[in-house]
Amino acid sequence: MIPTSFPAKDEIARLTAGMLLEIGAIDFNASEPFTHASGKKAPTYVDCRKLISYPRIRSTLMDFMAVSIMREAGFEAFDNVAGGETAGIPFGALVAERLALPMTYVRKKPKGYGRNARIEGVMTEGQRVILVEDLTTDGGSKLSFVDAIRETGATCSATAVIFYYGIFEGVEQTLADHGVQLISLCTWWDVLAEAKARGAYDDATLTAVEAYLNDPAGWTPA
């Protein structure tokens, strides 16, 4: 069944943040910060891969994503759903099922043998493709996936993610300059608000997280 009626965007953001907190996909730790792929320290960590192990939450979030895509991009805007390797593949499949569309996935790089393909599944010239991923930080990996999709002769004008950091400047503009609309369910700000509402962490931790979100480039552990 194709979902069409769900909560408003701000309520989807609140509920999504709550679900991520509920299953431990969010971790705040100011005393022993996490090291991100960039090498920088942060008191925040998110792991959307955990969602695939929680059927009720997984199903609800995929319904939220499907309806968000239709509301924000159009009900008949796409012909194909592409998941990004690797975390985006299960979510791409689940969204494709809800939108009654073909599903494909995009490799990070050619596999190096056989057809040496980056696109797996059937994607044809002229198809309108939406890229589905678990999250986006600065949008960089999305552009590589989008370019691989466009090399097939298909178009890609949007990417949908469960989680968008929402703390780095210029991300949405960078994507927009590349002709890509960003659709997301929640951000760090939504998670922080819900963590405060639930009393999920002590005040010192929440204060440190808020300081980081306001100035991620300048934040250092106290």
Q: What is the CATH number of the domain that holds 164?
A: 3.40.50.2020
Categorize the per-residue pLDDT at 5 as very low, low, confident or very high, splitting at 50, 70 and 90: confident
* Of residues 127, 159, 154, the one with CA closest to residue 143: 159
Which domain does 143 fall in, by range?
Answer: 9-214
Categorize the per-residue pLDDT at 163 as very low, low, confident or very high, splitting at 50, 70 and 90: very high
CA distance 54 to 86: 18
CA distance 178 to 131: 14
4 in any annotated domain: no
CA distance 207 to 156: 39
Q: How many domains does the chain have?
A: 1
Element (H, E) at 106: strand 103-106
Q: What is the DSSP string of 40-72?
A: -EESEEE-GGGGGG-HHHHHHHHHHHHHHHHHH
219 in any annotated domain: no
220 in any annotated domain: no
147 in any annotated domain: yes
Residue 114 has a pLDDT of 57
Residue 38 has pLDDT above 90, yes or no: no
What are the tens digits of pLDDT across the range 138-162?
878 899 999 999 999 999 999 999 9
17 in any annotated domain: yes
155 in any annotated domain: yes
97 in any annotated domain: yes
Residue 191 has a pLDDT of 98
What are the tens digits of pLDDT across the range 44-53?
999 999 999 9
221 in any annotated domain: no
